[in-house]
Amino acid sequence: MLKIIGTVLVIFACVALGYGKSAGISARLFLLREIEKMLLLLMGEITYRKETLPEAMLRVSGKVQEPLHGFLRETAKMAQKYQGERFAGIFRENAEKYLKNSDLTQKDFEEFVQLGEYLGYLDADMQKNTSQWYLQQLKTEIEALAGEIPAKKKLYQSLGILSGIFLAILLL
């Protein structure tokens, strides 16, 4: 009886891992799309409303979902509070706090942090050009990920199920 219960638990655990990995890919795509939305809104605030970066971040924070909402709010508050500190440092610190453990890959995270190096440093035109360059890269990544998501989700789910069955057979 214990063997059967253990076998069923192993199968369920492996299936859960497969479905969890599958959900992680969808969460990554969602977060990349939210970053794209955030950046478009930020550039609109800076370009058309002529807002300072911290003010634009506060305004945009209400239009995006977590974890970007908290990231933008905290970054804007810290940038207003510590006028002498480099914005890139504040940006990196908050990105690590809010986005490091998200579903973003290490490459996604590093590119996002690199964007912070240029946002608070250059004039509005250079910020706009840098943001457009990053947006183009982001759109390419989103399109590629969106194209491969159905196959990868099915693969992770199938691997979870098959590995669970395989381990169950090994244990019996």
DSSP labels, 50-101? ---HHHHHHHHHTTS-TTHHHHHHHHHHHHHH-TTS-HHHHHHHHHHHHTTT
C-alpha distances (whole Å) from 66 to each of 29, 61, 73, 108, 154 are 14, 9, 11, 17, 27
CA distance 125 to 111: 20
Give the tokens for residue 95. Answer: 């990105």
Please give the model's pTM, rounded to 2 decimal places.
0.82
Per-residue model confidence as pLDDT tens digits over 28-41: 999 999 999 999 89
Do 13 and 144 form a contact (C-beta atoms < 8 A)? no
Residue 150: pLDDT band with limits 50, 70, 90: very high
What integer is the mean pLDDT of 70-88? 81
